[in-house]
Amino acid sequence: MHAFCIIAGTAIILLILLDAFETIVLPRRVRRQYRITSWFYRRTWIPWRMITTHIKSPSRRENFLGYFGPLSLILLLGLWATALIFGFALLQYGAGEHFQLNNEPMTLGRLLYHSGETFFTLGYGDITPTSPIARLLAVLEAGMGFGFLGTVVGYLPTIYASFSRREVQISLLDARAGSPPTAAEFLARLCNRPQQLEFDQVLREWERWAGEVLESHLSYPPLGFFRSQHSNQSWLAALTTILDACALVIAGIDGLRSDQAKITFAMARHALVDLIQVAKVNYEPALPDRLPAEELARLRQSLAERGVRLKEGPEFEEKLTQLRSLYEPYSQTAALALLIILPPWIHPSKKKDNWEAGPWDRAIQARSLAALGRPRAQRRKMDEHF
């Protein structure tokens, strides 16, 4: 019995330390199939998703999903701490000798309590290790608990700094591609300008953003579950929009070179594919077509009305279809797994950007019209607009 406790305690401690090191410290993707962190997120995300399906309001549903990322991080750290405490309790039970003030016999439950107070360096002194091995284990556990708490303190600011950098660029996309962002809006607002360098600079910024997302989400996998500030924004939607826009530029837009678009497309696709592998998302074969023929025709017409002309002919459509096949299955499968709504290629009707909407807009507009002496019917029409 004692030998089993020693082996089990040692195995638990080593597994937890390895998993924490790979999740927090190791700055690269871990290809090992079985990991505690991966198991934890699979087992907690599934019931969270099931609860979400019973929430009817889209805004409330998105708010509820937004709790999962930060909460799961706290629960994961708690799981690691609990497992380490249990592992040291098993070691103390199997190899240590202790003295209790009231001379009660040592049980695994009392040693679990002793391990907890040692891990968090409380040191009440009601249970005292008496053998050299027990004292050594107590010192090791106290040092490990101190280091664990220090790692947690350093880990949380780092992951939130990465989240903040990710969200800044997503917020900038609001004025450039709409809310939610679409490739049609992105190209219409940027491509009808004469400066090729300006358009290339925007794509270059998104190339760098895709690289930063790849690095941060590989180093800190829980970031993939962190939702954006607005319900119609997400890192996956932004990445997909940039891929959509680059695919159209590469397929062919009159008067626009595709050199930078090819580089940005390659970086964005690289980020998307690698992040899907980290999340271990299962492939979904039956996926809807995001750009059927009638939508492509409407996209072409809408862009032409705003000064952006897509090339004609079957060569354009074949090239666009080939480019879409490189990333859309990954985007759509990830969206299903993470409960993220992918933006369309073009909005079915005109939508206001996030910056155009405010909680007081309707009241302010009605007050302004009343001050100008506008008739009530016109004020009602403006209310419907807002």
Note whether 136 and 183 are same-domain residues: no
Tell whether 17 and 52 lie within a shared domain.
yes
What per-residue confidence (pLDDT) applies to 366?
Answer: 67
Q: Is the predicted pLDDT of residue 380 greater than 80, yes or no?
A: no
3-state secondary structure 289-356: CCCCHHHHHHHHHHHHHCCCCECCCHHHHHHHHHHHHHHHHHHHHHHHHHCCCCCCCCCCCCCCCHHH
Contact present, 120 and 113 (Cβ < 8 Å): no
Res 345: pLDDT: 93
Verify that 90 and 210 share a domain, yes or no.
no
DSSP state of 256: B
183 and 331, same domain (yes or no)? yes
**CA–CA distance, 276 with 354 (Å, rounded to integer):** 28
pLDDT above 50 for 308: yes
Question: Count of domains in the chain?
Answer: 3
| Boundary (domain end) residue, out of 153, 172, 188 | 153
Residues 127 and 167 in one domain: no
Q: Produce one character per residue of 359-385: b if its CB has 16 or more CB atoms within 10 Å, e if not.
A: eeeeeeebeebeeeeeeeeebeebeee
Lowest mean pLDDT among 29-33, 151-155, 374-378: 374-378
Q: How many CB atoms lie within 10 A of CB 102?
A: 5
Per the CB < 8 A criterion, the answer to whether 186 and 238 are in contact is no
328 and 184 both lie in a single domain: yes
Same domain, 347 and 255: yes
**Together in a domain, 142 and 33:** yes
- Please give the pLDDT value at position 351: 76
pTM to 2 decimal places: 0.83
Q: Is the dihedral of CA 366, 369, 374, 378 positive or negative?
A: negative
Instruction: Tell me the pLDDT band of 382, cut-offs 50, 70 and 90.
Output: very low
Mean pLDDT of the residues in the chain: 84
**What would the pLDDT profile of 227-266 be if each residue is shown by its tens digit?**
988 888 899 999 999 999 999 999 999 888 899 999 999 9
Q: Closest by alpha carbon to 196, among 151, 112, 255? A: 255
CATH code for position 70: 1.10.287.70
Whether pLDDT at 376 is above 70:
no
Contact 36, 15 (CB under 8 A): yes
pLDDT score for 192: 60
Whole domain around residue 369: which residue ranges?
A: 359-385
Say if residue 231 is in the same domain as residue 86. no
Same domain, 323 and 218: yes
Q: Is the same domain home to 232 and 322?
A: yes
Q: Are residues 36 and 147 in the same domain?
A: yes
Tokens of 200: 């290339």
DSSP sequence for 147-196: HHHHHHHHHHHHHHHHHHHHHHHHHHHHHHHTTTT-HHHHHHHHTTSS-H
Q: Is 43 helix (H, G, I), strand (E, B) or coil?
A: helix
With 60 as the cut, is the pLDDT of residue 312 above it?
A: yes
Tell me which of 153, 175, 194 is where a domain ends.
Answer: 153
Select from 153, 183, 201 the last residue of a domain.
153
Cross-strand bridge partners of residue 256: 253
